[in-house]
Amino acid sequence: MRSLSLSDLWMILGALRWTVLLAVTTFACGSVIGLLVASSRSSRWPAARVCSRIYVEVIQGTPLLGLLFLLFFGVPMLTGIQVSSFLAAVLAFSLSAGAFLGEIWRGSIEAVPKGQWEAARSLGISHWHMLVHVIWPQAFRIALPPTVGFSVQLTKNTSLAALVGFVELTRSGQIVSGSTLQPLLIYLLVALCYFAICFPLARLSLSLEERFNVAGHH
């Protein structure tokens, strides 16, 4: 046991970069999966729709912590391959993010007015060009606010990586708190760090939603 020092505070602030790295990496990987899910869910092929639907229902029905433990503890037990805490966290959070982003984007695609689909078909353009040049640009505007909003949830969910030993913001707070026995002060600082990341994103999401709603009314 020891008193709280400046190095402890720097340790917590330094761990902030690992939280940001984990959130950004997960969002990037989840976006790729989400795009595949959204495309498959809106596909004209029944097999693609069924497979993507099963994926979404399985992932959304599985607790994120359970998925994380399955990858970190289960994979080594079943295969003998050791999985680092960072890799397990990235895989678990990316699979989860892909399912949720896929549903957000699928809903955004389906929210494009049917008249836009019919007008594009009447022009005789291919299905792919219709999606790229007509549907997706409109769906992007609809999807942007909830996508940014989801990034807030994703950032907060990175705290679960502490449970498999990855030293991000929450885990660094646990380490310092255990050494100094000042949990109130330490976790207040940790909460403020999360707030500093999430609050601007939440405000951006609300701002985008208001802007696009106004534009849509016009």
| DSSP one-letter string for 105-133 | HHHHHHHS-HHHHHHHHHTT--HHHHIII
Number of compact structural domains in the chain: 1
User: How far is residue 137's CA from residue 36's CA, in Å, rounded to a whole number?
Assistant: 17
pLDDT at 95: 96
Q: What is the pLDDT of residue 73?
A: 94
Is 135 a member of any domain?
yes
Q: pLDDT tens, 13-22?
A: 899 999 999 9
Q: Between the CA of residue 61 and those of 58, 97, 135, what are the distances in Å?
A: 5, 13, 30
Is residue 185 assigned to a domain?
yes
pLDDT at 217 over 50: no
pLDDT in tens, 33-86: 999 998 888 777 888 889 999 999 999 999 999 999 999 999 999 988 999 999
85-111 and 136-157 helices, crossing angle to 10°: 150
Instruction: State pTM to two decimals.
Output: 0.86
Domain that holds residue 83: 6-217
- Is 62 within the bounds of a domain? yes
Residue 1 in domain: no
